[in-house]
Structure 1
């Protein structure tokens, strides 16, 4: 199980994940940074995500917080890509997402 930590750290981790997802979606919307508004918002979200993550790791182990942040962010970004942009994954991509999910679950119990 995760060691004891203040709930605020979990909130910061959730915020960091949400901001990372927003940054990734906005990068896609920026069309390679040719569209300025989504590009600037993507940069702001990315910086805010790292700021929130830095607050989360004050009370959560770095390896656990970063693993969850990266894993959940990647899985959610893939889902947004499928839902919003019609992207498709090959079976190996689905397997990779499943392995990432398994890794995040194992981190919870480390």
Structure 2
């Protein structure tokens, strides 16, 4: 169950990072509110997952899901470049997440 909480926490990290982008420097109320709620929920789920999973594993996987997810949202929603180098870097992050899961 801890891995499910951690995965959901990572997905919520993507939500709050995207909402932060949409908040235009906290000048738009709805994206700012979504960001705050997403952050609180993400941190709470991460904390629950850490009751069982090691700190290093939990934090690495959480950040990795959020980073790769935000990267993909940037490409799909905001037209950010999907260069070979950026895709390779994201692939290496995913490989790290998988390795951390296998090592736990």
The reply to whether TM is greater than 0.5 is yes
**What value does the CA root-mean-square deviation take over the aligned residues?**
1.4
Q: 1:56 aligns with which of 41, 49, 62?
A: 49
Equivalence for 1:28: 21
TM-score, structure 1 as length reference: 0.84
SS in 2 for 1:16: helix
Q: How many residues align?
A: 103
1:84-99 equivalent positions in 2, closer than 5 A: 84-99=77-92
Deviation for aligned residue 1:91: 3.0
- Structure number with the higher helix fraction is 2
Write out the 4+ residue segments of structure 1 that deviate beyond 2 Å after TM superposition. 89-92
Q: Deviations over 1:23-78 (max 9, x none)?
A: 01111111121112211220221121111100001111111111111111111111
Equivalence for 1:16: 9
Q: Mind listing any 5+ residue stretches in structure 2 that lack a counterpart?
A: none
Q: 1:75 aligns with which of 49, 68, 73?
A: 68
